[in-house]
Amino acid sequence: MKTSNKQLDRRKMLIGSGAAITLPFLESLAAPKSLLANEKSAENPMRMVCIGLEYGLYPTDFFPEETGRDYKLPKLLEPLASLRNEYTVFSGLDHPGISGGHYVTHTFLSGIKSDQAKAQPEGNISVDQKAAEFVGAKTRFPSIQLGLGGGGVSWTRNGVEIPPITHLQTMFDALFLETPESKRKRLSGKYDVNRSILDVVQDDAMALKKRISHSDLDKLDEYFTSIREVEKRLLQSEVWLKKAKPKTGFRLPRSIPDDFYGETPLFYDLMKIALQTNSTRIISLAINGWGGSSGLPGVTKGYHDITHHGRNKEKLKQLSIIDTFHTSQFARFLESLKRTQASADASLLDNTMVLFGSGLGNASSHSNRNLPLVLAGGKFQHGEHKAYSITKGQQTPACNLYVSMLQRFGLQTDQFGTSTGTLQGLS
């Protein structure tokens, strides 16, 4: 079959313009067809927020001594006193086989090291991105990644870290600032070009299919699936480009804070509004360190330095200020979700599962065991401290919790990361 002149001209044009496409890019954008096809629309859908602390929480002040419902609130959970029936605190959960201190905190939401992604069926995709694939283009943003003072906590299935939004104004503009008509036209034109690129790539792949070995056919089929899904995503993106963004009465301060103490509550405020307006149903927030002054009253040293306290009283005092700030802002966020009605009979917190924790169990000793984890909202039965065995060979993977979260989110799955099933005792 001869190739038409039109196709040849298009190919020359694309090659001449330096257009290129790679499989990792396609995989990071693609949403598995099976997940999208199984999703059912709901008037009040479930949402997911994952908050990751780079340096964890001081274990002595975080974990309750008693289990069950009648546990005494430890120091770091005291800011959550009025919400104790809205969350569950866990102990004994971590990612089996994961060690390396700060180097492996990126496994927080996946349980898989990034350099081991290729050996896993789903790579090291993080739980928020697994949920985002399920949502697809039902919202303007399938997910939003945010970062305070560093990198993010979200990963694609092919081992790529998703760069977070680190500036408040950038997030506000993405949510509420309308795209000028001239830019809409330019973006629409880019979508047309990208679709043409995909046509050419598919033509080349079809020709290649005739020359490759049988063992490579499965990989090529994955490639075709990725192309089809990207084509679908381009169409969906163009649809959202033509839809007006939601209106809000919220305004950032004229002088936006540039320190950790001032920025953190504003990020939480924008997260709540993003969920409330259904701009997205998935948000991850990575809370790292800071450059310069933190702005936190009573904190004079760097965050990382303080976490390596060596039981120094002054450092422990400052660490307590930081950790209490984290849990206080978390409590404030939950209170805000609880006060916001999502429907006649449910609050936004009822319909949002909020995971708060870290991939680091003890920053001072660089331990990745016994991760500090709290799950709030999501219509789970809360109010307890649930403790699991930390005996080697009897460990309960944190990924079991993530399976339970994904099921509550609507996915029909019984496996994620290093899970061995759902989390027993959580309903």
pLDDT digits (tens, 9 = 90+) for 307-359: 999 999 999 999 999 999 999 999 999 999 999 999 889 999 999 999 999 99
CB 49 within 8 A of CB 355: yes
Domain that holds residue 384: 47-177+258-409
9 and 67 in a single domain? The answer is: no
pLDDT digits (tens, 9 = 90+) for 348-402: 999 999 999 999 999 999 999 999 999 999 999 999 999 998 877 788 999 999 9
394 and 316 in a single domain? The answer is: yes
222 and 171 in a single domain? The answer is: no
Specify the number of domains making up the chain.
Answer: 2
How many CB atoms sit inside 10 A of residue 17's CB? 10
Q: Is 251 or 2 the better-scoring residue by pLDDT? A: 251
| Residue 5 in tokens | 């002149």
281 and 209 in a single domain? The answer is: no
How many CB atoms sit inside 10 A of residue 303's CB? 21
Residues 107-126: what's their mean pLDDT?
A: 94
CB 30 within 8 A of CB 122: no
Report the mean per-residue pLDDT for the chain: 84
- Interatomic CA distance for residues 134 and 128, integer angstroms: 10
Residue 73 covered by a domain? yes
Residue 249 covered by a domain? no
pLDDT digits (tens, 9 = 90+) for 200-227: 555 666 666 666 666 676 565 655 555 5
Residue 280 above 80 pLDDT?
A: yes
- Interatomic CA distance for residues 251 and 401, integer angstroms: 36
Residue 420 covered by a domain? no
The per-residue pLDDT for 1 is 43
283 and 156 in a single domain? The answer is: yes
Helix H, strand E, coil C: the string for the chain is: CCCCHHHHHHHHHHHHCCCCCCHHHHHHHCCCHHHHHHCCCCCCCCEEEEEEECCCCCHHHHCCCCCECCCCCCHHHHHHHHHCCCEEEEECEECCCCCCHHHHHHHCCCCCCHHHHHHCCCCCCCHHHHHHHHHCCCCCCCCEEEEECCCCCCECCCCCECCCECCHHHHHHHHHCCCCHHHHHHHHHHHHHHHHHHHHHHHHHHHHHCCCCHHHHHHHHHHHHHHHHHHHHHHHHHHHHCCCCCCCCCCCCCCCCCCHHHHHHHHHHHHHHHHHCCCCCEEEEEECCCCCCCCCCCCCCCHHHHHCCCCCHHHHHHHHHHHHHHHHHHHHHHHHHHHCEEECCEECCCCEEEEEECCCCECCCCECCCCCEEEEECCCCCCCEEECCCCCCCCEEHHHHHHHHHHHHCCCCCCCCCCCCCCCCCC
171 and 184 in a single domain? The answer is: no
129 and 204 in a single domain? The answer is: no
Residue 39 covered by a domain? no
| Residue 174 in tokens | 């993405």
Residue 425 covered by a domain? no
- Interatomic CA distance for residues 315 and 148, integer angstroms: 22
155 and 207 in a single domain? The answer is: no
72 and 55 in a single domain? The answer is: yes
Task: Give the confidence band of 150 by pLDDT, cuts at 50, 70, 90.
Answer: confident
- Report the CATH number at residue 115: 3.40.720
Residue 42 covered by a domain? no
185 and 275 in a single domain? The answer is: no
Q: Is 289 or 416 the better-scoring residue by pLDDT? A: 416
Residue 416 covered by a domain? no
403 and 328 in a single domain? The answer is: yes
The per-residue pLDDT for 7 is 39
Task: Give the confidence band of 136 by pLDDT, cuts at 50, 70, 90.
Answer: confident
Domain boundary (244, 269, 293) is at 244
The per-residue pLDDT for 237 is 59
89 and 132 in a single domain? The answer is: yes
Residue 421 covered by a domain? no
